[in-house]
Structure 1
Amino acid sequence: MTLALGGRRAVMEALRSARAERVLCVRGSRSTEGLRQVLLEAERAGVPVEWVDREHVEALEVRDAQGVVAIVRPPRELDEGGLARVSSDPAALLVILDGITDPQNLGACARCAEAAGAIAI
């Protein structure tokens, strides 16, 4: 199973975290500094880039794709038993989120959780 993440920031994070399997760029997208950075990071990470029609990206139903989408492996999910194993330390920090609709908010929460030493989100 894979997921589609849209937008330059989300794609950059997927590339940096080694979760991206490939990057889709819309043919005719404006060549911005952000897009150039995505292409450079994809090359550095060895992730293939495919140029596709806008309709292809729209079919993925990615909101605010900004002309670029990463196809990524989903994060590992933990069931209750797995969560109990990784959180056996009473001082372990677990972050629980609800109702996140803006990917930038989720990204900010994830970065803060990582900086604080959270074991899971």
Structure 2
Amino acid sequence: MKQRTVEHPPLNPFLIGGLMLAFVALMFDFRSSAPLLSGSVHEACQGAVNEEVRLSREQLAQFLTVPERDSRERVSQIVGEPYCQLQSLQVRAGVAAERQVYPLAFDPQTRLVILYEGNEYAGYRFSYQ
């Protein structure tokens, strides 16, 4: 009786490299870098800071009904003066965007950041501490 042998194909170097990379990635603690990835790191205010500003639940609820591209004036009527301004940035090519910060009265660890492009409301995000 003849013994049957099974030949295994050689391992692909790309497969081995991919497995090693996956192993290293599993060993890395992504929780420590999560604020960097999500944009939730508190950025430094530019200029004056108004310590008395806090956004109420009612103001936040009313603000969330405002559609994007509405007037900056309408948003300002709802939220009032900002706590502070963040450094301007460029979200779209050739368009400077201003960002204003409003801490939430009911959650001091959370700030609402409102984005304006010129005289238009362009969006928002929450920043968590």
Normalising by structure 1, we get a TM-score of 0.22
Structure with the bigger RCO (C-alpha within 8 Å, sep 6+) is: 1
Normalising by structure 2, we get a TM-score of 0.21
Higher-strand-fraction structure:
2
Higher-helix-fraction structure:
1
